Chains A and B, each alone.
Chain A
Amino acid sequence: MASYSTNEFRSGLKVLLDGDPCIILDNEFVKPGKGQAFNRVKLRNLMSNRVWERTFKSGESLEAADVLEQDMEYLYTDGEFWHFMLTDGSFEQHAADAKAVGDTVKWLKEQDVYTVTLYNGAPLSVAPPNFVELEVVDTDPGMKGDTAQGGSKPATLSTGAVVNVPLFISIGEVLKVDTRSGEYVSRVKSS
């Protein structure tokens, strides 16, 4: 297994720490002029999503983590697993469990493409694109012609996600939503 020594540390590098895959966020080199050098490193544990701060003596090394980010198309769920397929033409499929899918479950739409992080060949996490387009399946009746007035109401989307939308939105409309903030962006088409 490949390993990286402290002077190869840089942000974005994926390493194994305490048996868990981590991504290096920040690496600060610290050295008294004539003394021992250290690296103060911030890492995100990809299993728990926690940020760790660790100190290394310069020259120490960490094993590389077999972590790979891949674009995959969401296929379907069987209730226990969510199935994805590589978009590289290989038709290779991977099944992600609820822990890997996490909050992304509310943005999962069949045939859309997601970033799946594989660890040792199995899905570790699933990240949605920044924007998704989803249909409104439930909301209070729309108020036509009232586009200028402020105010908002909740709308339930086809994936089960609930977002706040302007009052003029009605059932059947397709909306563009920012997955990072969970906020309504715009209408894609009107019904």
Chain B
Amino acid sequence: MGAAGVVGATSRTARAASNKQFKGYADSNAVLHDMTRCIGCRRCEAACNTVNELPAPEQPFDDLKVMEAWRRTTARTYTVVNQFFPDGDTLPPVFVKKQCNHCLEPACASACFVKAFTKTPEGAVIYNADVCVGCRYCMVACPFDIPAYEYHKALDPKIMKCTMCHPRILEGKLPGCVEACPTEALVYGKRDELIRVARDRIHTFPDRYLDHIYGEHEMGGTSWLYLSGAPFEALGLREDLGNKAAGEYTSGALGAVPIVIGLWPVLLTGIYAINKRKEKIAAEERAAAVSEAVDHAEVQAEGRLKAALEKAEQDKAAAIEREFKKALEAEAKARLASGGSETGDGEKA
């Protein structure tokens, strides 16, 4: 059964710091924790331990005495249920389940520089141990103090935190804790739908609930929503976090880091490219100039040759003409010298 959503074909990387606004995947899932229904039986803890194959606890899960002290999530426990007495020591106590809240824009992911955290479209924030370098920035970044570290492991320690049972969700099952809850103080479903359900409960029983869904807007919104009849601050849920996602606070500073780092190659490549371009243009221009010069010279030479030839032709013609004239003149002279050659032949004899 369960209400695992159809996986949309959306990108699977959680956004590290950027100035993009990311308001969660449409149709992602969430869990609604109604504290007025929780009886503090710790079955969610036991189920979590089983489905995630975590080490056995020091005290068994049916030992309710462990609630006398406040507990946090550890490398061996993904979730704990704490009890609070918001109005002094009056009974009954209010029980609050603590686990990863699966932020829409996770602080852990925005602090992680190897992208070990992924906000999946199904709603879970999952962790990839293969790329994790163990810097534990995520533990500092998380406003809910959730990620824990396997300090006890000498080799290959990992960050440990609730996965919203992401593998089970993909199989169409409910998260382990939700399935085990005997009073449905935990309800799993589409986040939008759960917000509607929560509003409906507040509206129907105005005396039972505070008019506030914790997680709807806190830290930019989380995929674990809480309803309560007592002030959240008195139940260990911080109300000083504001409604901005962690990434929005750091995007200005961290967003510049990749730009600055990434800028050098771009800059140098650019300079190189510009220089190359300049050289190329210069070469092209030179070649063009040369060819133009050559062309020009050829034209000029041709002109001169033509002019020379023409001149030679003219000279030749002039010379011929001159010789022709000369010959004519010589002939005329000779004719004058013989003096009537038809009449005077005898005289000279």
A and B from one complex: no
By a beta-carbon cutoff of 8 Å, the part of chain A in contact with chain B is: none
B contact residues vs A (CB 8 Å cutoff): none
